[in-house]
Amino acid sequence: MPHPVLAQFARLLSSDFHSLRLRWLATLACVPVRFTILGSGSNGNCAYLETDATRLLIDAGFSARQIRQRLAGIGRSPETLDGILITHEHSDHIRGLDVLCRKLDIPIYCNRLTRDAIAYQMRECRLNFRVFETGSAFELGEVEIEAFSVPHDAQDPVGYLLRTAAANIGFLTDLGHATRLVLERVRPANVLLLEANHDLQLLQDDLKRPWSVKQRILSRHGHLSNGAAADALTELMNADLRHVFLGHLSRDCNRPDLAEGCVARRCAELGAAHVRLEVTSQDAPASTVELGVVPVSG
């Protein structure tokens, strides 16, 4: 049994530390977080997140020149990046990684199997990898990052929940179906990038893709359709979710109006007038969102 005086001192110390931490978080929350999807689609994906002291990319699926130009368009530069988070090793998520990181030595955050796959593709490059365990949480500056497994045809693909003092941002793209684990991990998001890859009828009617490719896309390790995105959003809908970006649209097998219409109808059925819906493009950045303060309670 601990001495009563020591036990009381420990409780006071713990209480004071908790109070100080809450005041510190509240101070951070006064600083807005800026979030921009620089582009999203079947041929390229990249997003930018900025807090007061931390700047990072999520994926680097455009050429290094394109990424630099798109960052310049929002008044930012890759020289200030603290890291790049990678969801998986497919080219539409890592196309600019070698040039960007070789020149600037930007740390690349990914799991071990994704690192091995990227290292094999870029054998002549010396890249600065920071490896995490899928299912773990870690900190990058002011951002707490939770990486969780998603069902997709890659080595070890992940989604992300990025926790900041001002808001939580979820990344849910490149997955064949939304598992219960996936939904639970991304549920705290105030802002969500959600895949709406294809319209089922357009995919079935497409003449460019052989049946084997269509089967892969439609499989449980492929991509979410517009209807599947609406179903996932139904499971995730809550009062704290404010902004949903529909991403990774197929240029051939989807249209922005079809994706937005399908998901907007579901939002209307759910009475979710508080949620702003925006369709992304791989040709230009989406609107920059300045995320406000999330109340901090004791």
Percent of residues in the chain assigned helix, strand, coil, to nearest 5: 35, 25, 40
What domains appear along the chain, each with residue ranges and CATH number? 31-291 (3.60.15.10)
The pair of structure tokens assigned to 70 is 């798109």
Q: Strand 137-140 to strand 129-132: parallel, antiparallel, or no bridges (unpaired)?
A: unpaired
> What is the structure's pLDDT at 31?
61
pLDDT number for residue 19: 54
d(CA 202, CA 80) in angstroms, rounded, equals: 41
| Per-residue pLDDT tens digits for 130-185 | 999 999 999 999 999 999 999 999 999 999 999 999 999 999 999 999 999 999 99
The pLDDT tens digits of the residues spanning 14-57 come to 545 555 554 555 554 456 899 999 999 999 999 999 999 999 99
Note whether 37 and 47 are within 8 A (CB): yes
Is the confidence at residue 72, as pLDDT, over 80? yes
**pTM score:** 0.87
**Reported confidence tier of residue 6, pLDDT bands at 50, 70, 90:** very low
Alpha helices for the chain (secondary structure H): 4-29, 64-73, 91-94, 97-104, 112-121, 180-186, 200-205, 211-218, 226-236, 256-270
| Nearest C-alpha neighbor of 60 from the set 125, 146, 138 | 125
**Average pLDDT for 269-278:** 97
CA 55 to chain centre: 14
Helix (H, G, I), strand (E, B) or coil at 200: helix
Using CA atoms, how far residue 185 sits from 162, 204, 290, in Å, is 11, 32, 23
Euclidean distance between CA atoms 245 and 223, whole angstroms? 16
